[in-house]
Amino acid sequence: MDPDSHVYNLSSAVRLQGPLDVGALERSLSEIVRRHEILRTTFETIDDRPLQIINGPLPIRLPIIDISDLPAGQREASATLLASSDAQLPFDLSRGPLLRTSLVRLEAEDHIILITMHHIISDLWSMGILVQELADMYNAFCNDKPSPLPELPIQYGDFAHWQRNWLQGDVLESQLSYWRDKLGGTLPLLNLPADRPRPPAQSFRGSGRARIVPKSLTNRLETLSQQEGATLFMTLLAAFKVLLFRLTGQQDLLVGTPIANRSRIETEPLIGFFINTLVLRTDLSSGPGFRELLGRVRDTTLGAFAHQDLPFDLLVMDLQPERNLSHSPLFQVAFSLQKMPETSFSVTGLTLSPVPSNTGSTKFDLIMMFTEIDDGLIAELVYSTDLFDAATIDRWLEHILVLLEAIADDPDQSIEALPLMTQAERDWIVREWNGIEAEYAEADTILDLFERQAANTPKAIALISDNEELSYIELNERANRLSHHLLGLGVGPETIVGISLERSSEMIVSVLAIMKAGGAYLPLDPSYPPDRLSFMIEDAKPRFILTQSKMVKLIPTGDARQLCLDTDWPVIARQTARPPSTNLAPENLAYVIYTSGSTGRPKGVAVTHRGLRNLAEAQLETFAIEREDRILQFASLSFDASIFEIAMSLGAGATLCMAEAGKVLIGAELEEELREKKITVVTIPPSALATMEAEGLEELKKIVVAGEACGKEIVKNWGEGRSIYNAYGPTEATVWTTVSLCDADGQKPIIGRPISNSRVYLLDRLMNPVPVGVAAELLIGGVVLARGYLGRPDLTAERFIPNPFGDEIGGRLYRTGDLARYLPDGNIDFLGRIDDQVKVRGFRIELGEIEYVLAEHPAVQDCVAVAREDGEGNKTIAAFVIPVDKALASVESLRSYLKPQLPDYLIPSTSAMLDSFPTTPGGKLDRHALAAAGPGRENVKEGYSPPITRVEVILAEIWSEVLGTGRVGRHDSFFDLGGHSLMAVQVGSRVRKTLQVDLPVRLIFENPVLSDLAERIQAKHSVYGETTSLSITPVSRDGAIPLSFAQQRLWFLHQLDHESVAYNMPVAVRLRGALNERAVEKSIAEIIRRHEVLRTTFTSAAGQVVQVPRAFDGYYLPEQDLRSLDEASREIEAARIAREESRKSFDLETGPLFRSQLISLEETDHILLLTMHHIVSD
C-alpha cells in the first residue's frame, strides 16, 4: 500500500564511548547476520504468493559519518538528526537488506552506532537480543577469541513453518471461537476529541510526550493491584480506559496491547517478528466504581492472554471488519507497560548507553506507554500528529496523573466522578472563561435605549418599510399613541398581547407599543396553520390581538379581542404622543415566543426585560453599530432573531429596513433586497447566506450568522472586507449567549465566548465541568435566562435547574441539550445536539412534535422522525411509518394530514412505509440506522404521468438529482416531493447551466408543479440557443493582459511579504530505474513552451497589475550529483536540498515562477524537484 513508508521501522542508537575497534565491530555485526538468517532474508511475490528468500551471508561494511569537525555545540544536535533521519529511511522488502547500520563519529573516542531493522524481521525483543549479542561478540573479537555464542538450534523460518502446521484444525478453531465471541458484530470507532478532522488516509506521522508518575504514587497503585488480585498492567490499563471514557463518552472500549509471544523457550534467543497484538474490550456501562471496573479489566485481560496464540492478522481476516484507510482495524488506541531496559553496560574499553531516536511515526491514533523506572513510571503518549496537537496530549497526560492520584485515594469512586482536572484548572474554566459582569445602570429596559435615541436624534430615520420612512420621533410618537390606547383597554405589566401582522411598520410600532404599555407581545404568524395558532392563543391567553382587517377571518381569536390597526387607527391617532408612564420592572415579561416541543405541544418561552436589555447592551459592545448603519429586518416575528434585529438597530440609533412583505427572501431575491436597501448589517442563517453571491454587495459590512451551525466556506466566501460574527444562543437565553468574530482562515467557525452577564458551563452527566476538548452539554446561566415556559412549571423545572456554581441566590442554569467543547484558549466549539432536537434550514425542531402529530393519524401504528443529511450536506426531515393499513397510509395522505397542523418547516421532506424499525443490540430504536438509510422517494405522488416535452424531461432529471428521488412525473409538485427554498435555489442554478435560462426562485414557488414550471420556462426563453453563454476565446498578446481574480489576490499578498514562501508549491518525485536525463529535460522544456503561464511574470504598469508572458528561449535542467557520498549521507543531503528548494522565494516580477532540478543518488535512483508559485498553478 505504501512502499515508501517508514512506519514499520524499528531503530536503536547506541553510544560507544572509549577507544573503538571498528574492525571488531564490523566482524561482530557480520557474525550476527550470519548467525540469524532472518537478518539476510528478503520477501518476494512468486505465483501470487508472498515468500521469504534466505540469502547467503556477506560481510558487513559499516559506513562512517564523521562529524568531529563540527563545533562541539553542534555535534549532539547533528547526531540526533542523523539518528532520526536514519530511522525514517524506508526499506525495500524485495531487495533488502532489511538491517541497516552506520556509525557516527563525534570524536576519536565517542561514536554512535545506528541500527535500524524492518519490523517484518524483528521486534523490540529482537532489538535487545541484537544489542546484547553485539556486546558479547565485540568483547570476544577484541581479545582475539571466537564467538562465545552457541549456534542457534532453530531459525525464524523454522518457527514460521511450525506455526502454520500447529495453528489449524481444533487449535485454530478454539482460538477463533474465543475472539469471535469477544469481537463479533460491528465494532465501535473510538472518537477521541481531535484537533483536526481525521484525514481520508493515515499518514502515520507521529510524535510523543511524556511525564513522570512519582514513585510514591506508583507504590500505592501496586498495593491496590495486589489487593484486587490484579497486576499493575491491569490497573494502569483500567485507568487509561477511564480516561478514554471521559474524553469520548463511549462505554464500549477496545484497546490493543502488544505481547512478546515467545511462550516457547526455543524462541527466546531468536531475532524475528514474534510480537502479537491482543484486543482488550471492556464494557464501562452502568457507571461502575473503579474497583469494579478493575475486576472487569482483569477478567478480560486474563481471557485474552489465555488465547494469545492467534496472530492478529488472522483475527482481522476472520472478523473482516470494515476496512478504512483513515484508521486501523479493530482498535485505534494501544496500551503497554514495560520495564526500562539496562541503560548501560561495559564491553572491552567501551561504555554503551542508549541514544533517543524518533521515527516520527505511529500506527495508531494514540498509544499509552508506561515504563517502569527506579523513580516510578514514565507515562508517555505517542500520538498521531494528523489528529492531535502536542498541547492536547500534554493536557491528557496531566489528566492521567490526576486520575491515578484519585484512584489511589479512593478506588471505590464511580468512574464518572473521578476527577480529571486539578482544582486550579477547574476554577479557571468555571470562573475566568465566563462572561464579564457588566452594570447597565443607565437603562432599565430596551425602551429606555430607544427613547434616548429618539431624544438625541429625533429626525434620524429609524424605520423604512415599503415606501414609508419614519424618523425616530415619528416612530416613538406612533408607538406612544398605540401604547396609550392599549393602556386604556387595560393592558399593563404581564398582559400578553398578540401580533398577527405582515412585515410592516405597524408590526414594529406594535412591538414597541405593547412593551411601552407594560405588556408582552406574542407573535402569531398569519401563515401558520389555524390549529397551531389556536393552540398558541389558547395556551398563552392573550387579551388582545393586533391585526389588520384583511386578516380578521384568518386568525382564530379564542377569548382574545381583535384590534385592527388599519381601521382603528383614526381612534388611536387621537391619543397623546407623550411617553406613557408605566411601572415596568426588569423582571416583567417582554415577549412570549413559541418553539417546537418534544411532547408534541409547542411551548411558549417567556422572556423578561432584564434579558432583553442585556441583549441590546451586549450588541452595542460587540458590533459597534453606528447611526449610519442600515439593518435588515429579515426574520419572521415568530422567531427571536427578529427582536435581535430590532434591538440592534433601534438601540443604537441606526435604520431598520423592513424586508418586503410576502417576498421570498432567498438567493437572488435576497441579494436584490440587500442591494436596493443598501443594507450594511444583516443577521441571517448560514444556509440562506449560502444561496447568494458575495460580490456586488459592497455596502454590506457586518454579517451576524445565527440560527444554525456555520460552515467555514461561508466565512471564506463572505469574509473578505467584512466582519462576520457567529452568534449562538437558544430562545430560552434571550436570543444569544456567545459570539465570535470569525477568521477566514479555513478553520471551522466557533461560537466564541459568553457575552456580558452570560454564564456558560460545559458539564458532564453528573453536572461536573469537563476539561478542554471534551464534549459535554452546554448549560447557560446569568441575566440572559428567560423566566421559563409559560404555564409549564414542570417543564421549566426540568430544563431550568439550580446553578451550583453561582453566588446568586436562586440562580439557575438552562440545559440547552447542545453539545460543545472548550478550545485551549477558552473559546467554545459547537458540536451539535445531544437529543433529537435538530435545526433544519435554521429552524429549531423537536422531532417528537412531528411524531406526536403523525401518530394521531388513524392508519399509523407507529412512527419515527429523523434528521438526515443529503449529498450536499443539507439537513432534512424524514418520517418512517409502520402503518395499520398501507392502503390508508399513503405518503400523500400523510402529508395532507400534516399540512394543516404543522408549519412547512416541520413537515417531513420524505416519508417511507416500513414493516418494522431497526433496533440496536440493546433492543432500542436505532435512529442512526434510519437516518443513514433514508427513505426512498419514489412514487411520492400517485397516478404517475411521465414528462412529455423536452423541457419537462430535463427539468424532471434536475429535480431528481436535487431531491435525491427516483422518477419525477409531470404532475408532481416540487414541495410535495420534499423540496424547500434552498433546494429551489439549486434547481435554478442547474436550469441556468443546462437550459441557459434565468430561473428566479419565485417562479418555482409560483409554479411548483413540474409541467407548469416547464411551461413558464418555455415561455420565458427558448431552449434552442436564444441565450448564449460566454465562451473563452484567445485574445491578442499585443495589449496588457489583466490578472484573474485569484491571481490578483496572490499578487497583493506577495506585496505584503516578498520573501514569503507560503505560496510555493513544491513536489519531489523519486525516479527509480534507468533514467534518460536528456529526455526529462526536453519534456520539461516542451511543457514550458506549451504553457505560457509557466514563463509569465507579473508587473505593475500605469497603476494596473498585468501579466507578461515571456518568449520561450530554451531550458536547462540543473543537476546535483550525490553519488560520491555514502548511502546515509546521500539521503540526508537530498532531504536538505529538497527542503532548501521548497523554501526559496520567487520574484513575481523577474521570474521564472517555475523551478526544477534533478538529484542523482545512484545510477538508477534520482529525485526530480519541481517548484511553482501558486500564482501560476494549483
pLDDT tens per residue, range 717-729: 898 889 999 999 9
3-state SS, residue 43: strand
User: Under 8 Å CB-to-CB from 864, ≥6 apart: which residues?
Assistant: 851, 879, 880, 917, 925, 927, 930
User: Residue for cell digits 430615520?
Assistant: 461
Task: Tell me: do 1078 and 1138 sit in the same domain.
Answer: yes
| Predicted local confidence at residue 528, as pLDDT | 87
Distance (Å, whole) CA 1027 – CA 1007: 22
Q: Is residue 164 part of a domain?
A: no
Cβ pair 377, 371 in contact under 8 A = yes
Are 1054 and 1129 within one domain? yes
CB 689 within 8 A of CB 712: no
As a whole number, mean pLDDT of residues 774-800 equals 96
Q: How many domains does the chain have?
A: 7
- Say if strands 828-833 and 812-822 run parallel, antiparallel, or are unpaired: antiparallel
Express each pLDDT in 1075-1113 by its tens digit.
999 999 999 999 999 999 999 999 877 667 889 999 998
Give the domain extent around 128.
9-151
Report, in angstroms and rounded to the nearest whole number, the Rg of the chain calculated over CA atoms: 37
pLDDT at residue number 943:
52
> In this structure, which amino acid lies at residue 359?
T
Per-residue pLDDT, 348: 83
Per-residue confidence (pLDDT) for residue 1025, from 0 to 100? 42
**Tens of pLDDT, residues 486-512:** 999 999 999 999 999 999 999 999 999
C-alpha to C-alpha distance for 856 and 859, rounded to whole angstroms: 9
Judge if 459 and 593 occupy the same domain. yes
Give yes or no: residues 815 and 843 share one domain: no
Distance, CA of 67 to chain centre: 46
> What confidence tier does 857 reach under pLDDT thresholds 50, 70, 90?
confident
Q: Which residue has the higher pLDDT, 992 or 653?
A: 653
Where residue 319 falls among pLDDT bands split at 50, 70, 90? confident
Q: 787 in a domain, yes or no?
A: yes
pLDDT tens-digit readout, 675-709: 999 999 999 988 888 888 888 899 999 999 998 88
For residue 806, give the C-alpha cell.
453561582
Q: Do 253 and 369 fall into the same domain?
A: yes
My answer on whether 403 and 272 are in the same domain is yes
Select the more confidently predicted residue: 976 or 974: 974
| Predicted local confidence at residue 347, as pLDDT | 82
Phi/psi at 63 (5° precision):
-60, 135
Q: Tell me whether residue 156 is in a domain.
A: no
Please indicate, yes or no, if residue 415 is contained in any of the structural domains. yes
Q: Which three cell numbers stand for residue 371?
A: 515504563
Residue whose grid cell is 451551525: 709
Phi-psi region of 229 (alpha: psi -120 to 50; beta: other; left: phi over 0): left
Alpha-carbon distance of 867 to 876, in angstroms, equals 6
3-state secondary structure of 467: coil
Separation between Cα atoms, residue 1149 and residue 1097, nearest integer Å:
5
**Is pLDDT of 942 > 70?**
no
* Residue 628 sits in the same domain as residue 506: yes
Collapsing DSSP to helix, strand or coil, 940 comes out as coil
Mean pLDDT, range 396-410, rounded to an integer: 97
Is the pLDDT higher at 82 or at 843? 82
Helix intervals (H) in 429-499: 446-456, 472-488
Cell digits of residue 37: 538468517
- In the structure, what pLDDT confidence band is assigned to residue 389 with cuts at 50, 70 and 90? very high
Model confidence pLDDT, tens digit, residues 560-587? 999 999 999 999 999 999 999 888 899 9
Average pLDDT of the segment spanning 545-572: 91
Judge whether 685 lies within some domain. no
In this prediction, residue 133 carries a pLDDT of 92
Mean pLDDT of 312-339: 83
The CATH number of whichever domain residue 14 belongs to comes to 3.30.559.10
Q: Distance between CA 242 and CA 293 in Å, rounded?
A: 9
CATH number of the structural domain spanning residue 894 = 3.30.300.30
pLDDT in the model for residue 100? 93
CA-nearest of 222, 217, 219, 220 to 232 is 222
- The H or E element that residue 879 is part of is strand 875-883
Q: Is residue 908 part of a domain?
A: yes
Region of residue 490 (left: phi > 0; alpha: psi -120 to 50; beta: else): left
For residue 996, the domain's CATH number is 1.10.1200.10
Q: What is the largest CA-CA distance in the chain?
A: 122
Residues 6+ apart with CB under 8 A from 120: 8, 43, 93, 98, 273
Q: What is the mean pLDDT of residues 1109-1136?
A: 91
**pLDDT tens column, 1019-1057:** 876 543 443 344 577 888 877 788 887 787 787 677 767
The answer to whether residues 383 and 477 belong to one domain is: no
Three-state SS at 389? coil
pTM (two decimals): 0.70
Percent of the chain topping pLDDT 70: 93
pLDDT of amino acid 810: 82
Residue 194, pLDDT > 50, answer yes
Bridging pattern class, strands 49-54 and 64-66: unpaired
Together in a domain, 223 and 268: yes
C-alpha cell at 1133: 543531503
At residue 32, does pLDDT exceed 80?
A: yes
pLDDT value for 874: 66
Q: Is the domain of 541 the same as that of 593?
A: yes
**Distances from the Cα of 1166 to the Cαs of 65, 1071, 1072, 1156, 1159, in angstroms?**
22, 5, 6, 13, 6
> In a 10 Å sphere around its CB, with 0-12 CB exposed, 13-18 middle and 19+ buried, how is residue 835 labelled?
middle
Angle between helices 232-248 and 290-305 (to 10 degrees): 120
Same domain as 954, residue 1079? no
Q: For residue 292, count CB atoms less than 10 angstroms from its CB and return exposed for 0-12, middle for 13-18, buried for 19 or more.
A: middle
What does pLDDT average to over the chain? 88
Whole-angstrom distance, CA of residue 345 vs CA of residue 141: 17
- Any idea how long the chain is? 1178
pLDDT at position 345 is 59
- pLDDT at position 870 is 62
Q: How far is CA 1049 from CA 256, 795, 1061, in A?
A: 49, 54, 15
Per-residue pLDDT, averaged over 728-752, amounts to 92
* 119 inside domain: yes
999 plus 1115 within the same structural domain: no
Residue 1027 has a pLDDT of: 38
Q: Is the pLDDT of residue 899 over 80?
A: no
- Between the two ends of the chain, the Cα-to-Cα distance in Å is 26
Among residues 640, 662, 684, the one where a domain terminates is 662
> Helices 312-319 and 169-183 meet at what angle, rounded to 10?
70
- Which of 833, 860, 884 is where one domain is finished? 833
Q: Which residues contact 933 (CB under 8 A, 6 or more apart)?
A: 918
Q: From 817, 833, 849, give the residue that closes a domain.
A: 833
| H helix or E strand, kind and range, residue 741 | strand 738-741
Q: What are phi and psi of 1086, to 5 degrees?
A: -65, -35
Instruction: Identify the pLDDT of residue 556.
Output: 85
Of the listed ranges 17-26, 204-213, 961-970, 1133-1142, the least confidently predicted one is 961-970
Among 124-138, 192-206, 297-311, 557-571, the range scoring the smallest mean pLDDT is: 192-206
Indicate whether 850 belongs to any domain. yes
Sequence-distant (≥ 6) Cβ neighbours of residue 157 within 8 angstroms: 37, 38, 41, 52, 54
Distance CA 384, CA 386 (A): 5
